[in-house]
Amino acid sequence: MSLIRIRNLTRHYVMGVETVHALRGVSLDISKGEYIAIMGPSGSGKSTLMNLLGCLDTPNSGSYELNGTNVADMDDNALAEVRNREIGFVFQSFNLLARSDSLHNVELPLIYAGVPYEDRRERARQALANVGLAERMHHKPNELSGGQRQRVAVARALVNDPSIVLADEPTGNLDSRTGEEILSLFEQLSRRGNTIIVVTHEEDVAQHARRIIRIRDGLIAADEVNPNPRAARLVGAAERVPAPA
Amino acid sequence: MRSQIQLMAEVREAFGMALNAIGTHKLRSSLTLLGILIGVFSIIVVATAIEALQGNIEKEMSQLGSHTFQVQRFPAIQVEDDMESVEKYLRRKRFYLSTARQLEERSTLAKHVGVTAEVDQGEVFSLYAKTAPTVSYRGMSPSAFETRNLVVAEGRALSETDMESARYVTVLGADLAKKLFPFGSPLGKWVQFRGVKYTVVGVLEAKGSIFGQSQDNFMSVPITTVLNRYGRETSLSIQVQSPSQEAFDDVVEQTRGVLRTLRKTPPGEEDDFEIVSNDSLINQFRSITLAVRAGAGIISSIALVAAGIGIMNIMLVSVTERTREIGIRRAIGAKKRNIMTQFIMEAVVLSEIGGILGVLLGIGAGNLAAAMLLTPPVFPWDWALIGLGVCSVVGVVFGTYPAWKAANLDPIESLRYE
Ligand SMILES: Nc1ncnc2c1ncn2[C@@H]1O[C@H](COP(=O)(O)OP(=O)(O)OP(=O)(O)O)[C@@H](O)[C@H]1O
Ligand SMILES: [Mg+2]
């Protein structure tokens, strides 16, 4: 059974008299443990698809089954719980709380998951250390560089050990070395059986995935297996991923 | 257990973010909580002042002995001050010593009937004091020591013999004894008031002061002596002591009946005298202060409603400003309930800060007012707690709509909000 099963998903935005068709009918099956890269030109509908997969947005038509459950049938609380426990979302625009420091930002999903204070602080610290930000725990987003913010966003997405990681351009602002560190984190998670979906513009990054989906104009243009996925160069960073509790 | 930890974490997060949000907009927040502050202040200041006064009234009551009431021409607390009612009281017949004697004979239920007369004030001299303090000069019957709750510390009280032969003897209040006889015992020595010498036979225990006035600055002499000097027409007040609390009402009724007969009050007409007891005093005080309290209550309710609307307004602004934050929280797993909690908490914290400041300032100002009347400071816990409770209610009531609005924002729309 597929973890994710979408059929003829469409999403359009009505802008006055004009209608923008962001997704025109996308069907996909994704199994547990897959490592997928989504590529496509700007405006092709990648972020729109990710928002739907992340249970943040609702499609105009089509169906989405997550773990065998029809997402359209889930109530608001159930969706919040899925977003909190099952999905780790790295937003293209980071979406950090401006008035909170890195540690609090990363801790936030654990608060809503009801993790006790000490435990949650420890896990948040560890997640920040894993993205190389141990020194920036008490900096607010406006005191961080673009790449550092992106890494805080990654730490927040991974802190709850989600079974599905949805990362929208997680390395867009990073130099290749730091980018590799993030990718090796994903690789490590993937090896543990977590499902990873990464949106990227960089062919280099996409080559780490075992399956590459290309989107054009709101439709799937290609969906192919990557015959020999590249391993992340920096294994050192991956070793810092804690064993699952 | 788990859900309890979860609730704690959520409330703590909400509280932290509330303080954070309020701290970010200090001016805006202080203006908003000013309304709450004024509302709470106005009721607390009144409650504090009244409570301080009430403490005094209660102390004043200890002037009467236990289960004792006083019969007098004028009411204890006069509410009307128009000429007509004043004249009504002035027209009333006085109480004479004979009235008291007859009352004593006829009231079978009473334990003691005491008579007192506050007739004069003036300077009193002794050989041992350089200055002559001004004192009040009281006539008393022996049983008035019981009914006025006076305890002899040294020597003796006035006796029946003193009374029968209208002797020139006196029992001094504690303060006065100290002033007139700074060294050694006053017993057997004399004091002089209005040119007449009185032999000191006793000294009373101290009673302290009310409204900053000493209660011990008086000399008491036999009532008969007073009548001899100031005339038979001198108006007296009579105190009646009941043997027990249970018998109290019966004693009051009997006394009333006897007095009406003695004073020939026509049946069906209202009493032409006042019966004042501790209970009647406190009830009268309460009914007067009730109006004041109600007034303060109305003012503070209006202020609180206005403040509540202010809170709602600022919360709506805050929700709009923080749309993106709400979207982020929803995206990473906050439920509607969490968002609700957060914003209601913010409204409550805002309102409580105003409330706490209002309570503190109100108690401060109320005590300041009371201090001018020289009463000891009080802390009206009940009012303070009610005040803070009301603040929470205001926060919840006026925070709910903005919080509901925040919770029902669409997550993805809010994430896009610039
Ligand atoms: N809220 C919106 N309202 C109107 N149009 C939208 C909205 N969100 C996306 N679109 C449109 O939908 C289309 C797809 O947008 P989407 O963000 O999914 O693109 P993308 O593939 O992620 O692009 P990029 O690589 O630049 O991030 C675009 O043409 C965009 O203008
Ligand atoms: Mg995008």
pLDDT band for position B117 (cuts 50, 70, 90): confident
**Confidence (pLDDT) at B379:** 85
pLDDT one-digit tens code per residue, B253-282: 898 888 888 888 888 888 888 888 877 777
Distance of alpha carbon B281 from alpha carbon B64, whole angstroms: 11
CB of A225 closer than 6 angstroms to any ligand 1 atom:
no
Q: Residue A91 falls within a domain, yes or no?
A: yes
Interface contact flag, B415 A117, Cβ < 8 Å: no
Question: Rounded to 10 degrees, what is the CA torsion of B142, B145, B147, B153?
Answer: -160
Query: What tens digit of pLDDT does each residue of B183-240 get?
Result: 888 899 889 999 899 999 999 988 776 666 677 888 999 999 998 888 877 778 888 8
Q: Which tens digit of pLDDT belongs to each residue from A91-145?
A: 988 899 999 999 999 999 999 998 888 999 999 999 999 999 999 999 999 999 8
What's chain B's average pLDDT? 86
Asked whether the predicted pLDDT for residue B311 surpasses 80, the reply is yes
Q: Which of left, alpha, beta for A114 (phi over 0: left; psi -120 to 50: alpha)? A: left
Containing B312, the helix (H) or strand (E) segment is: helix B278-321
Q: Which helix (H) or strand (E) holds A47?
A: helix A46-53
CA of B418 to the centre of ligand 2 (A): 16
A92 CB under 6 A from ligand 1? yes
In a domain, A12, yes or no: no
The predicted structure's pLDDT at residue B206: 83
Partner residue facing A116 (CB), from B5, B330, B336:
B5
Contact check, Cβ <8 Å, A108/B24: no
Residue A52 lies in a domain: yes
Give me ligand 1 centre to Cα A234, in Å.
33
Q: How far is CA B359 from the centre of its chain?
A: 18
At residue A226, φ and ψ (nearest 5 deg) are -85, 110
| Total number of domains in chain A | 1
- CB burial readout B162-176, b (16+ within 10 A) else e: bbeebbbbbbbbbbb
Binned at pLDDT 50, 70 and 90, residue A196 comes out as very high
Mean pLDDT of B10-37: 88
Q: Does A108 touch chain B (CB under 8 A)?
A: yes
Rg, chain B, Cα only: 32
pTM here is 0.74
CB proximity A96 to B under 8 Å: yes
| Residue B390 C-alpha, separation from nearest chain A C-alpha, in angstroms | 30
pLDDT mean over B306-330: 93
Beta pairing partners, B196: B193
- Res A174: pLDDT: 83
Give chain A positions within 8 Å (CB) of B11: none
Residue A184 near ligand 1, beta carbon < 6 Å: no
**Given a cut of 50, is residue A237 above it in pLDDT?**
no
Q: What are phi and psi of A70, to 5 degrees?
A: -75, 120
Taking the Cβ of residue A57 and every Cβ of chain B, the question of whether any pair is shorter than 8 Å is answered with yes
Residues of A in contact with B336 (CB under 8 A): 76-77, 80
Picking from A51, A76, A108, the nearest residue to B332 by CB comes out as A108
Contact residues for A201 (Cβ-Cβ < 8 A; gap 6+): A39, A42, A169, A172
Q: Following CA atoms B331, B333, B335, B339 in sequence, which dihedral angle do they give, to the nearest 10 degrees?
A: -60
Residue-level pLDDT at B2: 60
A158-167 burial by CB neighbour count: b if 16+ within 10 A, else e? bbbbbbbbbb
Specify the range with the lowest mean pLDDT, choosing from A13-27, A144-158, B233-247: B233-247
Is the per-residue pLDDT at B57 higher than 80? no
Q: What is the mean pLDDT of residues A189-212?
A: 93
B134 has a chain A CB within 8 A of its CB: no
Mark yes or no for CB contact A56/B334 under 8 Å: no
Tokens of B50: 């009244």
Other residues' Cβ atoms within 10 Å of the Cβ of residue A70? 11
pLDDT at B383 over 70: yes
Per residue in A169-181, pLDDT (tens digit) is 998 888 888 888 8
Residue A66 belongs to some domain of the structure: no
Measured distance CA(B366)–CA(B377) in Å, rounded: 9
Determine the pLDDT at residue A62.
Answer: 95
Question: What is the ipTM, given to two decimal places?
Answer: 0.92
Distance CA A235, CA A104 (A): 28
* pLDDT above 90: residue B349: yes
Cβ atoms of B199 and B127 within 8 Å: the answer is no
* Average pLDDT over every residue of B14-38: 89
What is the pLDDT averaged over residues B285-312? Answer: 86
Angle, helix B381-407 to helix B278-321, in steps of 10 degrees: 20
| CB of residue A172 inside a 6 A radius of ligand 1 | no
In a domain, A241, yes or no: no
pLDDT at res. B287: 81
Tell me whether strands B134-140 and B218-222 are parallel, antiparallel or unpaired: parallel
Pocket lining: A218 vs ligand 1, CB cutoff 6 Å = no
Nearest CB neighbour to A76, from listed B21, B24, B336: B336
Give the environment of ion ligand 2: residues with CB less than 5 A. Answer: A 47, 92
| pLDDT greater than 90 at residue B59 | no
CA distance A46 to A200: 9
pLDDT in the model for residue B109: 87
Question: Which of A63-72, B30-39, B71-80, B375-384 is modeled with the greatest confidence?
Answer: A63-72
Cα B29 to Cα A89, A231, B18, B102, B396, distances in angstroms: 34, 54, 11, 72, 17
Burial class (CB in 10 A: 0-12, 13-18, 19+), B263: middle
Domain assignment present for A170? yes
Residue A228, domain CATH = 3.40.50.300
pLDDT at A240 over 60: no
- Is residue A144 assigned to a domain? yes
Rg of chain A in Å (alpha carbons): 17
The beta-carbon neighbor of B5 closest among A80, A84, A114 is A114
> Ramachandran region of residue B74, left (φ > 0), alpha (ψ -120 to 50) or beta?
beta
The protein residue whose alpha carbon is closest to atom 7 in ligand 1 is: A13
Q: Is B98 on the interface with A (CB under 8 A)?
A: no
A78 falls within a domain = no
Say yes or no: A15 contacts chain B, CB-CB below 8 A: no
Q: A218 lies in which domain range?
A: 33-58+85-233
